[in-house]
Structure 1
Amino acid sequence: MRSFIVRVLINGLALWIASWILPGLDISSSATTAALEKSGVTQGTDTIGIILAYLFIGAIFGVVNAFVRPLVSFLSLPITILTLGLFTIVINAAMLYLTSWISSYTPVQFSIDSFFWTAVLAAIIITVISLVAGRVPGARRG
């Protein structure tokens, strides 16, 4: 359980940095902000709502990577071998698109513009950040 929470935090951080660098990634959290304001929290509501939105999308991305990505990676193993592993970037971009599609059914919307290269660059950024954050002492303990 602890490793899942750490993974969600790392995913949220990676998604935040990727959306900060790339203008085609966007997370809108109007429902989260409205729910916080309704509960009586008014100071810093926008910041808390954005943080919760990134953590929520990070959780969805973590679940997609835990359950869907291994199957897709296994089925695309011949293509991955032929491309010397570069096809994993396309798989990661597809997982981002799947996360975007799943989030369209939630109050927090994660959107990627229609340009495919935004998803590929975001996948590269998220992979690098996840690798670096995973090497931090204490992040891999479960």
Structure 2
Amino acid sequence: MDLIVRTLGNAGGLWLAVALLPGMAVPGTPSLTLTVVNLLVVGLVLALVNSLIKPVARVLAFPLYVMTFGLFALVVNGAMLMLTSRITDVLAGVSTGAELTLGLHVATFGTAIVGSLIVSVTSAIIVGVLGPSDHRNGH
């Protein structure tokens, strides 16, 4: 259930980031339904990247986190978004013959950092609203 909620949060954050940032885009000009499916797939990839790769990056970059008082997290989050973009570029190649075009394009690392801020804040709000109620009840 946690992965589903995080995927929905990421998809919402990605939608907002793509709408606000000219350097982020989804490929093609699909219908609303296909855009939602694409954002859900990209949101799932981002959730998996954050679950599997981000903890390793945090451990390796721990001295930089300490030296920058945690601001290096912005760089790591941007790198995770760029990695998600690269992974979904491969998915876009796989889905070439299909009706659904998958993927996310992030133009620059600066766009990735700003985009990751938007995705993080939006996702935190969505996960807070949709997440398990035991955390809200103090259990």
- TM-score normalised by the shorter chain: which range applies? 0.7 to 0.9
1:139 is the counterpart of 2:138: no
Q: TM-score, normalised by structure 2?
A: 0.83
2:45 counterpart of 1:60: yes
Residue 97 of structure 2 corresponds to residue 112 of structure 1? no
Greater shift, 118-127 or 80-89, is seen at 118-127
1:122 to 108, 115, 123: 115
Q: In the alignment, residue 125 of structure 1 is paired with which amino acid? A: I
In the alignment, the residues of structure 2 paired with residue 23 and residue 140 of structure 1 have an alpha-carbon distance, to the nearest angstrom, of 34
2:105 maps to a residue whose letter is S
Residue number among 81, 86, 91 corresponding to 2:66 in the alignment: 81
Asked if structure 2 preserves the Cα contact closer than 8 Å seen for 1:29 and 1:49, the reply is no
Opposite residue 7 of structure 1, the aligned amino acid is R
Say if 1:29 and 1:109, in contact at 8 Å, map to a contact too. no
TM-score using structure 1 length: 0.82
Q: Which residue of structure 1 aligns with residue 137 of structure 2?
A: none
* Counterpart for residue 6 of structure 1: 5
Structure 1 counterpart SS, 2:121: helix
Query: 2: distance between equivalents of 1:10 and 1:91?
Result: 19
Runs of 5+ unmatched residues, structure 1:
34-45
Percent identity, please. 30
Distance 1:110 1:93 in 2: 14
Is the Cα–Cα contact under 8 Å of residues 8 and 126 in structure 2 kept in the other structure? no
